[in-house]
Structure 1
């Protein structure tokens, strides 16, 4: 997975009653296989995200 600043990361869930998470990439950290992201989530908080297989990138418009 590769994302750039401004893209959105969407984390799908397979857990019942757990909503999908969506956030905007505000920083790309690392390179190559070690790339991860600082994400501002819909609720306004930010965290460092190491996307797993349940995540996908939605390019910015």
Structure 2
């Protein structure tokens, strides 16, 4: 799994009715774009994570501030 700052991780819900969770990568801590990643959730909380097999990378970039 390779990602860059600004990419998003989409973690699919594993329980019926549970929505996908989306976080933005704010820092890549592994070599050459590999995990772990420092991420920010929609509510502003930050954490360090190594995504599991139910996670995909969305390479869309967040809009740049004006």
Residue 44 (structure 1) aligns with = 44
Deviates more, 1:35-44 or 1:50-59: 35-44
- Once residues 52 and 45 of structure 2 are traced to their aligned partners in structure 1, the CA distance between those partners, rounded to angstroms, is 20
CA distance in 2, matches of 1:43, 1:56: 20
Higher strand share: 1
Q: Secondary structure at the match of 2:27?
A: strand
1:30 and 2:30 correspond: yes
Task: Name the structure 2 match of 1:10.
Answer: 10
1:58 counterpart = 2:55 = no
Unaligned runs of 5+ in 1: none
Q: Give the TM-score, by structure 2 length.
A: 0.78
Q: CA RMSD in A?
A: 1.6
Q: Which runs of no fewer than 5 residues in structure 2 stay unpaired?
A: 62-66
